[in-house]
Amino acid sequence: MQKEIIIAGFGGQGVLFGGQVVAYAAMDAGKEVTWIPSYGPEMRGGTANCTVVLADEEIGSPLVKNPPLAIALNLPSFDKYEGLLKKGGTLVVNKSMVDRGPKRDDIKVIFVPCNEIAEEIGDKRLLNMVAVGALLTALPELSLKDVEKALEAHLPERHKKLLPKNYEALKRGFEAAKAQ
């Protein structure tokens, strides 16, 4: 088994952290993992994406051309990765920032209002965990529990007080995706 995931959006949306959490969860579950961040020089507001590869065996290359799984947190990312996604793949889209439907009918597209859910929970920065929760519906190799454990184990001490809200964001994203 090998799964490739791309998470993309604007800097400041928690793209890289979302990928790190998925990578840590896979690593803690005994999988082989790579995580490669990429961001524009602008940081907040610029483009940001990361690639996560998880596998049962050693990973030959961390580079991904046509991933089977992706998260697009904004319209430019949706425009870019919808076309690159592998046929039959799943694309989680932040409905809060995308105002069009998919152009392809050979992939599964899951629209989740990540910003609105994060704001309902009380912290707009949680939109990345909402999206990761939604992604887990298409990634049976990892469970909500795996990601929750990774957050608890790897979140900096100063942010531990945010764990309950992160857990809620994951669950709400998972439930929103399951409902589709």
pLDDT in tens, 15-46: 999 999 999 999 999 999 999 998 766 555 66
Alpha-carbon distance values, 28 to 41, 45, 93, 95 (Å): 31, 31, 27, 31
* pLDDT tens digits, one per residue of 99-155: 999 999 999 999 999 999 999 999 999 999 999 999 999 999 999 999 999 999 988
Q: Does domain 2-178 have CATH number 3.40.920.10?
A: yes
Residue type, 132: V
Sign of the dihedral defined by the CA atoms of residues 96, 12, 85, 130, in that order: negative
Q: Where are the chain's structural domains?
A: 2-178
Angle subtended at Cα 16 by Cα 15 and Cα 21, rounded to the nearest 5 degrees: 100
